[in-house]
Amino acid sequence: MKNNSVRRTDLLSTGDMARFVARGFLRFDGLIPDEINRDFLERIMRDEVRSHPPGTPLAECYATCPPIGALLRLPKVAGMIQSLVGLNPLFDHHAVHHCPPHQARAQDTHADSIVDVRSTAFDIQLMYYPHEVTASMGGTRYIPGSHFRRINEMAIARYQNIAGQQHVVCPAGTLLIMHHGIWHGGGCNRSGESRYMLKIRLNPTCRQVRLWNTDDLAALSVGPAAIFDPDAYRHQDRIQTLFERPEKWFPMDESRLETVNRIRLWRALIDDPEFDSHYWLSRLENQPE
Amino acid sequence: MIIESHADYRQQILMLYTRSSALDSEVVAWAMYDGTGATTHYAGDQDAVPYSTGLDAMQAGWRVLQVSQLNPPYPSAEYQTSYLPFEVMLEKWVKFDEK
Predicted complex ipTM: 0.94
User: Measuring CA to CA, which residue among A145, A26, A131, A23 is closest to residue A77?
Assistant: A26
Q: Which domain does A274 fall in, by range?
A: 216-285
Q: What is the DSSP string of B21-59?
A: SSTTSBEEEEEEEETTSS----TTS-SS-S-SBHHHHHH
A241 neighbors A21 (Cβ within 8 angstroms): no
Mean residue pLDDT across chain B: 94
Instruction: Please identify, among A146, A180, A203, the residue that sits at the C-terminal boundary of a domain.
Output: A203
Do the bridges between strand A124-129 and strand A174-179 make them parallel or antiparallel, or are there none, so unpaired?
antiparallel
Interface contact flag, B28 A155, Cβ < 8 Å: no
Do residues A180 and A66 share a domain? Answer: yes
In a domain, A3, yes or no: no
Residue of B nearest to A255 (CA): B81
Asked whether the whole model's pTM tops 0.90, one would answer yes
Please report which confidence band the pLDDT of residue B72 belongs to, taking 50, 70 and 90 as the band edges. very high
Please report which confidence band the pLDDT of residue B91 belongs to, taking 50, 70 and 90 as the band edges. very high
Mean pLDDT of B58-86: 96
Do residues A139 and A279 share a domain? Answer: no
Number of structural domains found in chain A = 2
Q: Give the best residue of A152, A160, A184, A188 to mutate against chain B (max B CB count within 10 A).
A: A160
**Measured in Å, how far apart are chain A's first and last C-alpha atoms?**
56
In a domain, A208, yes or no: no
Regions in chain A scoring below 50 on pLDDT: 2
Residue A246 main-chain phi, psi, to 5 deg: -80, 155
Do residues A57 and A199 share a domain? Answer: yes
Interface contact flag, A254 B27, Cβ < 8 Å: no
Query: Given CB atoms, is A284 within the 8 Å cutoff of chain B?
Result: no
Instruction: Please identify, among A154, A169, A203, the residue that sits at the C-terminal boundary of a domain.
Output: A203
User: Measuring CA to CA, which residue among A136, A137, A156 is closest to residue A146?
Assistant: A156
Interface contact flag, A162 B29, Cβ < 8 Å: yes
A27 neighbors A176 (Cβ within 8 angstroms): yes
User: Measuring CA to CA, which residue among A242, A89, A87 is closest to residue A180?
Assistant: A89
Helix (H, G, I), strand (E, B) or coil at A110: strand
Rounded to whole angstroms, the maximal C-alpha distance in chain A is 69
B83 neighbors A151 (Cβ within 8 angstroms): yes
Do residues A160 and A225 share a domain? Answer: no
Å from A191 to nearest chain B CA?
A: 14
Residue of B nearest to A248 (CA): B28
